[in-house]
Amino acid sequence: MSKISKLVLNFILGGAVIMLMSYIFDGVYVKDFTVAFLVALILSLLNTFVKPILTIIALPITIMSLGLFQLVINGFVLSLATSILAPDFQIQSFGLTILCSIFISILYSLLGLNKDDDD
């Protein structure tokens, strides 16, 4: 399978995870699968470009909290995605945003969407 088809498949599966999240949690609203696909795309861009900068800036706090502050950073990145797609993708509270980011991370790991294949 080519790299582009793997990338598109990862975004489709990521969109499915986002849609599943909207069915499981009452405070999460996703308009349709197109928006969920866009959320997966924006999350991958934010995780590539913004999250490393935030992780470096918050490194002392992350070390002092034994890594638990990374959950707040993940929630903030998901909150940024929510603000980018505001009317079509909404999460009610920041606590629910952190819970959703944990849910997304677990499902991405189970589906193997967060690993880089150099094949």
Whole-Å CA distances, 19 to 63, 65, 110: 33, 32, 16
Read off the pLDDT of each residue in 31-36 and give the average, rounded to a whole number.
Answer: 96
Residue 117 lies in a domain: no
Q: How many domains does the chain have?
A: 1
Give the span between the Cα atoms of 73 and 78, in whole angstroms. 9
Read off the pLDDT of each residue in 41-51 and give the average, rounded to a whole number.
Answer: 95
Residue 11 lies in a domain: yes
Residue 70 lies in a domain: yes
Q: Which two tokens stand for residue 32?
A: 């349709």
> Which residue range forms the structural domain that includes residue 102?
3-111
Residue 116 lies in a domain: no
Residue 119 lies in a domain: no
Read off the pLDDT of each residue in 41-64 and give the average, rounded to a whole number.
Answer: 96
Q: Over the stretch 65-106, which tens digit does the pLDDT of each residue have?
A: 999 999 999 999 999 999 999 999 999 999 999 999 999 999
